[in-house]
Structure 1
Amino acid sequence: MKRIGKASMATIALAASLTMLVAGCGTSGGSSSNGTGNSTGSSGNQAASNSAPGSTSGQPVDGGTLTIAQTTKFDDQFIPDMDASLYTANIVQYAFDPLLTVDKNLNFVGDLAKSWSWSADKKTLTITLANANWSDGKPITSADVLFTMNYLASKTYNTTLQGQYGYLVGPVVGSTRIGNGKATSFAQTGGFKQISSKQFQLTFKTVDAAVLWSDISGIQPIPEHVLKSIPMKSWTTASFDKMPTVVSGPYTFTQVNGQDSVQMKANPNYFQGKPHITNLIMKTVSPDVVPGLLANGSIQMVLTGLKPADASKLKAIPGITVYTPPENGFSYLGVKDYLPEFKNYKVRQALEYGLNRQAMVDGILKGLGTVISGPLPPVSWAAATTADGMNPYNYNPTKAGQLLDQAGWKMGSNGYRIDPSTGKEANLTLSYSSGDPTTQAEAVAIQADLKKIGIKVTLNSPMDFNTLAKDVETNSKSIQMWLMGWSLATDPDPRGLWQSTDAFNFERWKNKTNDQLIKATYSAAAFNKSYRKQALVKWQLNVNQRMPLIFLWAPDNIFAYSSKLNIPAKDWSTQGPLNIQDWWLSQ
């Protein structure tokens, strides 16, 4: 579920309407899921371009300051995987490289990992690191990778620090022993063998066709020589977490101003070459002022949070480029499946039928999205379609009413349904984040649509995004339904988000059939891509039928940036621009 690569425009995230919570490191696609509804977004896309921007002109020049805006505050935890939000990950990705990244076609390529090979039995992976150094000049070594893996698997990370990315090393031999405190290192368990300072082997518990792409590739090594002397339980309050002093990526931290901005400068020791742009500023701004800031040159790019209505406005501004490729992710209405109100999957199906999602895409998103009804978005190579048997759940309030009747939700005398678990009039509560008028419009539309099928919905007061995210993560009793989204990693591995015990299974959905179908997606047979796709299709059909959450749509990304910012054509993927070290500013 974690995005892989550098300089992508999103990652797995908890972001109210367009993307949601998650963490990751940067580049493009998704690892978890998003379904394929048969409907398509309507005519709003004429506001911006859906073909990748053309080549830059002229020779790159060095210097200048690039200011990138986000419209939601980040959390001030910058050790990779310490925080799970998109907005933090969008900053971390410029400072810490992963083992693998992707190219413009979303194929995996080496990053800190220069090469890799499998043993004949497909259970041992040998990885050779690139000749890369930390920003302080010390080499990035196998020992740093081991230190990072031990951190992700540790009991402290997964309990005391409430870390959510332990699954990245879960398939490695010994992860369970480290997680329960019976071992402290994969070097002791047989899961990690150092061959040299630049080469190591990983041994997995079982043959796993997806483990490199969906798990190991997303590991962002951290510097052992800096952090080994600090007790891990203290990392969240350590100065390094608030502003790392040693990094592996193209930019180093120079100043962190609360949750308002982060200042960075080019890393002269970056192994892929010192970036052309000298200074980088990541800034939190209100979505209402983004068009004006782009127009007057105060910012040169918007990373997240552009309102769909702004796409056509921005296109009309001279010197601004707008690009709207499909996002590898989805927005959803979350429900707690274990609660009596939602335990019957027919109720969840009724909610899916009862929402006029296409009307929301057309009206709220201005056509910049595609209605979906399952866990992989249409942009994914493994997305199931109606031809495979996916139910698109086209808007049908009559069908929704019939399903509610079957589930025992009878209509009361005042036009609202009776919750059979309480015998009283149902009154569902919906939570959503503040600061984004698009999200608020979605909440109001959902409330109105569900009223039409006899379900009363009370909207809670909008919450700060990070507060909402924490309440959802910790299963706060104050949350019953919520609006969020997932931005996914390139490989469509369902693990991390969809298994019964996964940290990001916020619905707390437990389904044995689902877990069994997921196992087939990474079995030995799944090394064959055709087999794996069919296994993923079968899994999606089960999710589509059981509807553990209410799928809304796969949004389009909205990228807007100044014509003074030059991004080589080779660095544009369908998800956004990669390789920030290649970008340059016209002087």
Structure 2
Amino acid sequence: MHVRTTNNHTAIKGGTLDAAVVSNSPFTGTFAPEFAETTVDLNFAQFGLEPLFGVNRDYTFNQNGAATLRLNRHARTATIKLRRNVRWADGHKVVAKDVEYAYEILANKASNSSRYTDALANIKGMAAYHAGAAKSISGINLPQGDNGRTVILHFKALKPGMKRTGNGYIWEYAEPYHYLKNIPFADLAKSSRMRSQLLTFGPFRMTKVVNGQSVRYARNRYYYRGMPHLQHVNVETLASSKATAALKAKKYDVVFGMPSAQYTHYRRTSGYTMLTDQSMSYDYLAFNLGHFDQKTGRNVMNKHAKMANQKLRQAMLYALNVDAVVKKLYPGTRTRGTTLIPTAFGRYHLRTSGYTLNRTRARKLLDEAGYRKGKDGYRTDPDGHKLTVHLAVMQGDDTSDAMYADFMQQWRKVGLRVRLTTGRPIEFNSFYKMVAANPATIDIIAGSWSLGAEPSPMALYGPQAPYNFSRFVSKRNTQLLEEIDGSRAFNDGYRVAVFKRWQKYMLNEAAVAPLTYGVTVLPVSSRVKDLSLKPDNHWDDVAVTSASR
């Protein structure tokens, strides 16, 4: 298993890196992190988009990035200090107001950013600003003024995860206030300045965007770490059906999102190294239990929802043979998921068998809950009415279609009639817009999450989390989530124990359940040098050692 390229040849001067992102739909072009909702868009943006803080290989923050971060538990503050030489790609300095402005984008009601969560509301004054009760965020202080280099965040409480990237409590990006200030918050998400004309301070700058298809980058001559090795980066979309053939034809230097189902066909492709690592991602089933109230910013459960019966949900999970599906369709690239914290998180993961195939138990649970079989072999609901469960899945490939077809066959064996919402897989860009609305036409959501390095589940399963697509809310769930992020959890042993209690609780509630854990596979051309899957990878370090593949 390689996590870093092994090419030791001398790098050539300049050169162009040709990259592809596998997607069966055009990218949306929502590149700004405050609005981006898909891994596809972020994969296109990564060459210019750089976080403020440096990160070690263990995902903890270091002092080597565009800014430093220091926590003060006594004062309950985080102090961000920008380096003097950090500039946007137009030459303007990155200043304190740029950091504050990113928080304003997230929290302003008119922005309608789904990135605003319970975690960010931990900053003092954030909730008041979000509600429109304040014109500024009182908990963000700029002691040297807008054009200074220091930002102090005042929190209601410091959280143990704040020392790690992806924690959700500290936003890791800045936005160029001088470039965006005249655009109303309500128009930002659709503005070309947040999309095809995105201004960043990373190693490369966007020079050309063909909507939905490709992005071209050139060096950012103001980059604070120095001139990048590569002169250009070209990135384009690649249909999953063409991915393996493109690799064998040596069309690209690196391909993001290679279909795991095709792994056996491309893993030994000549001229490439397969970088692999445990993935902090999982596929899941979420049962539709309510809706998200846009006015209150809270998830609301509906006790009359079709999937409100816990035994029905548990039965549907026991009816699946995920082990057999993984062995047949995803050999070597996926394993059956057992909890909502993947094994990649080490000691935070609860070792348990989770839901394994047990049709006898599934049938018993359904019988106990009053779901009786009719003459047609299908079960009715407890009131004797016809029961049809609608499953929403996103458009994928033949392998994912085969997986969901298998699931529906397995559910048929325990007497449950399950049909696809809209009768077919839903186009990628439309999928999350649809499921976020929790329409009555969706009873189960089949989705996937790529997680940050901080395992706190608050941003995905908290009472105010827009991404809590099941809309499951309970006092016990909120209590456990708050304990995971509470002051006592600075003791890591205590935090690990609460993590495991939360996973056990969520398994029993069965509002959301994991399907599979992934393995990251990144095919990289043998001419590429100094590329790594680890978080300390920098695109300005990446080079090529020959002019062609």
TM-score scaled to structure 2, two decimals?
0.90
How far apart are the structure 1 equivalents of 2:198 and 2:356?
A: 52
How far apart are the structure 1 equivalents of 2:43 and 2:72?
A: 35
1:325 paired residue number: 277
Pairing 1:155-166 to 2, within 5 Å after superposition: 155-157=109-111, 161-166=112-117
Report the CA distance between 1:363 and its aligned residue.
0.9
Q: What residue identity is the alignment partner of 1:344?
A: N
Report the CA distance between 1:80 and its aligned residue.
2.3
1:289 paired residue number: 242
Report the CA distance between 1:52 and its aligned residue.
2.7
Report the CA distance between 1:203 and its aligned residue.
0.5
Q: What residue identity is the alignment partner of 1:586?
A: T
The reply to whether residue 361 of structure 1 matches residue 313 of structure 2 is no
- Give the match's secondary structure for 1:298: coil
Report the CA distance between 1:57 and its aligned residue.
0.4
How far apart are the structure 1 equivalents of 2:62 and 2:400?
A: 36
Pairing 1:359-508 to 2, within 5 Å after superposition: 359-386=324-351, 390-420=352-382, 422-459=383-420, 460-508=423-471
How far apart are the structure 2 equivalents of 1:162 and 1:474?
A: 15
Q: Return 255-264 or 63-72, whichever deviates more.
A: 63-72
1:191 paired residue number: 140
The one of 498, 503, 510 equivalent to 1:547 is 510
1:63 paired residue number: 14
Q: Which has the higher contact order (CA 8 A, sep 6+)?
A: 1
* Aligned residues of 2:507 and 2:513 also touching (Cα < 8 A): no
How far apart are the structure 2 equivalents of 1:54 and 1:66?
A: 15
How far apart are the structure 1 equivalents of 2:441 and 2:277?
A: 36
2:295 paired residue number: none
1:21 paired residue number: none
1:13 paired residue number: none
Give a deviation string over 1:422-443, Cα, whole Å, max 9, x none: 5223221222222422321221
Compared with structure 1, are the counterparts of its residues 505 and 166 closer, same or farther at alpha carbon in structure 2 (3 Å cutoff)? closer
Report the CA distance between 1:382 and its aligned residue.
4.1
How far apart are the structure 1 equivalents of 2:380 and 2:198?
A: 58
Report the CA distance between 1:251 and its aligned residue.
1.5
1:139 paired residue number: 93
Give a deviation string over 1:504-562, Cα, whole Å, max 9, x none: 00111111100001111111111122222112122111112111123201111221121
Report the CA distance between 1:282 and its aligned residue.
1.8
The one of 509, 524, 546 equivalent to 1:561 is 524
How far apart are the structure 1 equivalents of 2:536 and 2:415?
A: 45
Report the CA distance between 1:224 and its aligned residue.
0.6
1:173 paired residue number: 124
The reply to whether residue 203 of structure 1 matches residue 154 of structure 2 is yes
1:527 paired residue number: 490
Q: What residue identity is the alignment partner of 1:345?
A: Q
How far apart are the structure 1 equivalents of 2:362 and 2:331?
A: 26
Compared with structure 1, are the counterparts of its residues 52 and 237 closer, same or farther at alpha carbon in structure 2 (3 Å cutoff)? closer
The one of 300, 306, 316 equivalent to 2:268 is 316
Q: What residue identity is the alignment partner of 1:454?
A: G
Report the CA distance between 1:298 and its aligned residue.
1.9
2:293 paired residue number: none
Pairing 1:107-146 to 2, within 5 Å after superposition: 107-110=60-63, 112=65, 114-121=67-74, 123-131=76-84, 132-146=86-100
Give a deviation string over 1:50-82, Cα, whole Å, max 9, x none: 343453202333322222212223212222221
1:11 paired residue number: none
How far apart are the structure 2 equivalents of 1:200 and 1:307?
A: 42
**Alignment gaps of 5+ in structure 2:** 291-303
Compared with structure 1, are the counterparts of its residues 80 and 192 closer, same or farther at alpha carbon in structure 2 (3 Å cutoff)? same
Q: What residue identity is the alignment partner of 2:8?
A: S
Compared with structure 1, are the counterparts of its residues 254 and 477 closer, same or farther at alpha carbon in structure 2 (3 Å cutoff)? farther
The one of 223, 229, 232 equivalent to 1:279 is 232
The one of 518, 530, 537 equivalent to 2:481 is 518
Compared with structure 1, are the counterparts of its residues 449 and 110 closer, same or farther at alpha carbon in structure 2 (3 Å cutoff)? farther
How far apart are the structure 1 equivalents of 2:64 and 2:32?
A: 19
Q: What residue identity is the alignment partner of 1:414?
A: D
* Aligned residues of 1:433 and 1:465 also touching (Cα < 8 A): yes
Compared with structure 1, are the counterparts of its residues 282 and 166 closer, same or farther at alpha carbon in structure 2 (3 Å cutoff)? farther
1:25 paired residue number: none
Q: What residue identity is the alignment partner of 1:550?
A: A
Report the CA distance between 1:91 and its aligned residue.
2.1
Q: What residue identity is the alignment partner of 1:156?
A: A
Report the CA distance between 1:245 and its aligned residue.
4.9
* Aligned residues of 2:141 and 2:153 also touching (Cα < 8 A): yes
**Alignment gaps of 5+ in structure 1:** 1-49
Q: What residue identity is the alignment partner of 1:191?
A: I
* Aligned residues of 1:311 and 1:322 also touching (Cα < 8 A): no
Q: RMSD of aligned C-alpha atoms?
A: 2.1
Q: What residue identity is the alignment partner of 1:282?
A: V
2:44 paired residue number: 91
Give a deviation string over 1:304-347, Cα, whole Å, max 9, x none: 1x223422222332112223322111101222024633112222
Q: Equivalent pairs: percent with the same residue?
A: 25
Report the CA distance between 1:195 and its aligned residue.
4.1
* Aligned residues of 1:171 and 1:211 also touching (Cα < 8 A): no
Q: Return 530-539 or 114-123, whichever deviates more.
A: 114-123
How far apart are the structure 2 equivalents of 1:71 and 1:577?
A: 24
The reply to whether residue 340 of structure 1 matches residue 305 of structure 2 is yes
Q: Return 473-482 or 349-358, whichever deviates more.
A: 473-482
How far apart are the structure 1 equivalents of 2:69 and 2:269?
A: 47
* Aligned residues of 1:391 and 1:545 also touching (Cα < 8 A): no
